[in-house]
Amino acid sequence: MSTSVVSASIQLSDGTTVDLFDASMTESTATTVTQELKTSTTYAVAATSVGTFADGKSIMAFTSPITGSNNILYAYLARRGEILSILPIATRGVISQPSLPFRPVVLQAGDTIQVCAMATATRGSAYQCITNAGVHAIFAGLDASGNVDLTHILSGQGIGSSLTGQQIVKHFANQRASSAALNISGNGVYVLNDRGLPAGACVMSVTANQQIECNNMGTALIGLNFVARVSSSA
């Protein structure tokens, strides 16, 4: 299987900087498969999970976001098998500035950084959002010609079943394409209500073109039968 070079740099609450690095992270053809990004052995004795390495410390900034040699679909901080926080992502060489964490987190032993690195020929889309209840969620799917309803990367449920009654307050969307071109026929991700009408929207980017920023425009109050949809081109 193909691999990707994945790295990141984080600044901790005690003023120290942690280098994270994987020279050969296995790429996936599925949007639900992730690999752990650990500390670099260049500046640490062993490759270690971030929670174990920095137990009791807080992430103050990503001086370099989660970065891949090929497009990364998403990344998140995991705690006890759940998404604790979505994380900033980028493509190597296409970074303009550091990123702040999307929530204050005191790291615990067992916390891990999970990364979905997509295979070069695989097309996938991801919608990453934060709600007024403090829930961080990622919805993803493989692109095909036509409409693709994104599902939660852990539960497999749609956005309506996952976030019923919650208001999205921040979000961003990106596509892992086989080239730098965006392979959609619509305008990004639409959150559709139970009548199939747009209740919210999020612009979509390709990290090979620009560094993605979280935004608070086009957010929606989620109902039970809502879906997050991407209209993909052939």
* Amino acid 167: pLDDT: 98
Q: What's this model's pTM, rounded to 2 decimal places?
A: 0.94
- Per-residue pLDDT at 233 exceeds 90: no
DSSP 210: S
**Same domain for 9 and 59?**
yes
Percent of the chain with pLDDT over 90: 72
pLDDT digits (tens, 9 = 90+) for 46-61: 999 999 999 999 999 9
**Same domain for 7 and 110?**
yes
SS3 call for 195: coil
pLDDT digits (tens, 9 = 90+) for 146-157: 889 999 999 999
Domain boundary among 117, 145, 177: 117
Q: What is the mean pLDDT of the chain?
A: 92
**Same domain for 128 and 227?**
yes
Residues sharing a CB contact under 8 Å with residue 29, sequence separation 6 or more, in sequence order: 118, 119, 122
pLDDT digits (tens, 9 = 90+) for 93-120: 888 889 999 999 999 999 999 999 988 7
How sure is the predictor about 123, in pLDDT bands with cuts at 50, 70 and 90? confident
Domain boundary among 117, 150, 182: 117
* Amino acid 180: pLDDT: 58
**Same domain for 159 and 87?**
no
**Same domain for 109 and 163?**
no
Neighbours of 214 (CB within 10 A): 17
In the chain, helix, strand, coil percent, each to 5?
5, 50, 45
> Which structural domain, as residue segments, surrounds residue 217?
124-232
**Same domain for 112 and 87?**
yes
**Same domain for 23 and 39?**
yes
Domain boundary among 98, 117, 136: 117
- 3 state SS for 14-82: CCCEEEEEEEEEECECCCCCCEEECECCCCCCCCCCHHHHCCCCEEEEEEEEEEECCCEEEEEEEECCE
Amino acid at 79: R
